[in-house]
Amino acid sequence: MPAISLKVNQRAVTAEVEPRTLLVEFLREHLSLTGVHVGCDTSQCGACTVFVDGVSVKSCTMLAMEADGAEVTTIEGLAQGGKLHPMQQAFHEHHGLQCGFCTPGMVISSADLLKRNPRPTEGQVREWLEGNICRCTGYHNIVKAVLACAEGSAK
């Protein structure tokens, strides 16, 4: 089996993986990072979204071998020093979740949006999040959380 080396949540990781192992499987099954959710296996729901080299990626569409040499950040690595990332804080403050299954992917994807567009409109937030499916909330509070984070009103 080939070995891969990457940085996951600021920690160096080297492991042997089957060539067909998806990044989402590697993160969940080999590293026990279960905040990365498998919702559809077809890139439709976005529950598996992580950062790869600073860009949001649906980890069910990427082989673990493709992440060799990359830096991966999951929802578990987003908070720093015991302090929530501003997007996590905004989701908390504006109740941008219900069951929580989609939340990790929504938070990662939303944080990527604000890196690319620090002041999005409501329409731009809704368009960006079309790649993430939430079956519980109706998106209203999710959009509210993203806009609050963009305004800097999340503590």
Domain 3-76 identical in fold to domain 86-151: no
pTM: 0.93
pLDDT per residue as tens digits for the range 101-125: 999 999 999 999 999 999 999 999 9
Q: Where are the domains of the chain?
A: 3-76, 86-151
CATH of 86-151, one of 3.30.830.10, 1.10.10.10, 1.10.150.120, 3.10.20.30: 1.10.150.120
Residue 155 in this model has a pLDDT that exceeds 60 = no
Structure tokens at 107: 């938070």
Q: Identify the pLDDT of residue 41.
A: 72
Q: What is the CATH number of domain 3-76?
A: 3.10.20.30
Residue 92 in this model has a pLDDT that exceeds 70 = yes
Q: Which residues of 53-79 are buried (b: 16+ CB within 10 A; e: fewer)?
A: eeebbbbbebbbbebeebebbbbbbbe
Residue 75 in this model has a pLDDT that exceeds 80 = yes
